[in-house]
C-alpha cells in the first residue's frame, strides 16, 4: 500500500518502450536529433500555439531556471507559503536567481487568491533603491494540498500580475492531474488564462526523468539556452528525455494516467471519510490529507501502508495531518485494503 508519493511509482511500460526504441542506433547530441525536434512541435500542438520548450532533469530545476529568467536578482517573487519553491527546493530559486526574494503568502488549501496577492503587494510599496520590486508571481497547479485552480481563478491572478507588471509562472509538477480534474484544454488553464511560463512535469505521472520549461511567448526565452547549459541541465543524450515525452503525449496517455491517479485518490478519500477519518482539504487531484482516529495509523503502518506526516506553516491539524498520494500505478486493491483496515 504505497501512498507516500507519486514519485515512488515506476515508469509506465509505454514510456519504457519508447526509451528502448530511442536506444537503437545513433543520433545527434544535445537536442539536435529529429525525435527532440518532433516532440518540441508536439508541445506546440498540445498548447495550440508556438511555444519554446526546454527539457531539464527535475522539477526543482524547471522552477528555479524559469524564475531566474523572469526576475532580476533584486526582484521579488510572490508565492504561497506552502509552495514547493518556498518549502522544498533548498533555496534553489534564490540561488539560480542570484538572490531574488520569495514573498510567501498564506491561503486556503495552498492556493493564492487575487485578494491575498494584492494585499501582500500593497505591503511592499515602490521605494527604490531600498525595497525589492516585485517581478514575478508563481502558483502551483495542482497545489501542494491537492487543490486545483479553476480557469477563472488563474485569470484573476493573471489580472493582478498584469496590473503590477509581474511575470506569471505556474509550477506544473502535477499539471496533468489538474487538467484531468478540470476537463479543460491545456491552453485554457495556461496562456489563455494569462500564464507566461509553465514548469511541465512528467516524472510524477509515469515518466522516468522528464520535466520541461515551456515559454508561451518564445521571446521570453531569449538566451535561456545559455542559462540551462550553465546550470548543467543540458542533456547530451537529449533523445532519451524526448522519447519519454513522445510516448507521454501520444494518444493522451498523460491524461489517462492522471485520470486514474485522481480516481484512486477520490476513492481513498471517500472511503477514509466514511471510516471516521478527517479529510482536511477537498480531494480534487491525486492527493489526500487525512487525520486518523486513535490507533488507526499504527495499524495501517503495521500492515505495510506507506504515507508521510504533513506539517506546514499555518498547519490546521497541529501536526496530526497525513498526506497520502495516489499515482498512475495505484491499484484498486491497495485503496480498498487501506479503507478496510481504517474501517476495522
Domain endpoint, select from 251, 285, 307: 251
> Which CATH number does the domain housing residue 258 bear?
3.90.1150.10
Shared-domain flag, residues 208 and 73 = yes
Q: What is the pTM of this model?
A: 0.95
In a domain, 72, yes or no: yes
Shared-domain flag, residues 243 and 289 = no
In a domain, 146, yes or no: yes
Shared-domain flag, residues 101 and 240 = yes
What are the tens digits of pLDDT across the range 333-344? 999 999 999 988
* Mean pLDDT in residue range 82-109: 96
For 261-296, give the DSSP string.
Answer: HHHHHHHHHHHHHHTTPEE-S---SSEEEEE--TTH
Residue 14 has pLDDT above 90, yes or no: yes
Residue 197 has pLDDT above 90, yes or no: yes
Shared-domain flag, residues 188 and 301 = no
Domain endpoint, select from 188, 221, 251: 251
Q: How far apart are CA 124 and CA 133, in angstroms?
A: 8
pLDDT value for 220:
97
Split into its structural domains, the chain has a count of 2
Domain endpoint, select from 228, 251, 274: 251
Which residues span the domain enclosing 336? 253-343
pLDDT value for 189:
98
> Which CATH number does the domain housing residue 83 bear?
3.40.640.10
Shared-domain flag, residues 142 and 197 = yes
Burial label for 298, CB within 10 Å (0-12, 13-18, 19+), is exposed
What are the tens digits of pLDDT across the range 295-308? 999 999 999 999 99
Amino acid at each position: 500500500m504505497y501512498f507516500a508519493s507519486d514519485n515512488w511509482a515506476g515508469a509506465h511500460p509505454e514510456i519504457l518502450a519508447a526509451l528502448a526504441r530511442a536506444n537503437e542506433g545513433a543520433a545527434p547530441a544535445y537536442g539536435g536529433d529529429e525525435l527532440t525536434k518532433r516532440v518540441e512541435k508536439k508541445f506546440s500542438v498540445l498548447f495550440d500555439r508556438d511555444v519554446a520548450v526546454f527539457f531539464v532533469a527535475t522539477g526543482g530545476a524547471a522552477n528555479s531556471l524559469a524564475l531566474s529568467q523572469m526576475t532580476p536578482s533584486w526582484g521579488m517573487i510572490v508565492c504561497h507559503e506552502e509552495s514547493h519553491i518556498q518549502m522544498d527546493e533548498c533555496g534553489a530559486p534564490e540561488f539560480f536567481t542570484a538572490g531574488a526574494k520569495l514573498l510567501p503568502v498564506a491561503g486556503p488549501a495552498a492556493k493564492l487568491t487575487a485578494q491575498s496577492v494584492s494585499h501582500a503587494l500593497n505591503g511592499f510599496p515602490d521605494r527604490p533603491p531600498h525595497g525589492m520590486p516585485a517581478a514575478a508571481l508563481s502558483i502551483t497547479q495542482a497545489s501542494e494540498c491537492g487543490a486545483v485552480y479553476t480557469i477563472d481563478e488563474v485569470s484573476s491572478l493573471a489580472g493582478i500580475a498584469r496590473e503590477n507588471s509581474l511575470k506569471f509562472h505556474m509550477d506544473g509538477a502535477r499539471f496533468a492531474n489538474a487538467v484531468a480534474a478540470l476537463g479543460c484544454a491545456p491552453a485554457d488553464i495556461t496562456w489563455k488564462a494569462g500564464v507566461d511560463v509553465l514548469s511541465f512535469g512528467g516524472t510524477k505521472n509515469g515518466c522516468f526523468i522528464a520535466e520541461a520549461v515551456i515559454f508561451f511567448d518564445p521571446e521570453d526565452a531569449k538566451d535561456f539556452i545559455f542559462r540551462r547549459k550553465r546550470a548543467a541541465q543540458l542533456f547530451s543524450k537529449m533523445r532519451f528525455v524526448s522519447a519519454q515525452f513522445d510516448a507521454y503525449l501520444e494518444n493522451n496517455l498523460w491524461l489517462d494516467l492522471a485520470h486514474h491517479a485522481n480516481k484512486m485518490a477520490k476513492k481513498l478519500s471517500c472511503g477514509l471519510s466514511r471510516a471516521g477519518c478527517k479529510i482536511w482539504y477537498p480531494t480534487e487531484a491525486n492527493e489526500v490529507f487525512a487525520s486518523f482516529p486513535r490507533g488507526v495509523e499504527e495499524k495501517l503502518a503495521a500492515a505495510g501502508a506507506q504515507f508521510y506526516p504533513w506539517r506546514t506553516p499555518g498547519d490546521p491539524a497541529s501536526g496530526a495531518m497525513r498526506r497520502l498520494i495516489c499515482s498512475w500505478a495505484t491499484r484498486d486493491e491497495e485503496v480498498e485494503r487501506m479503507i478496510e483496515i481504517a474501517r476495522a
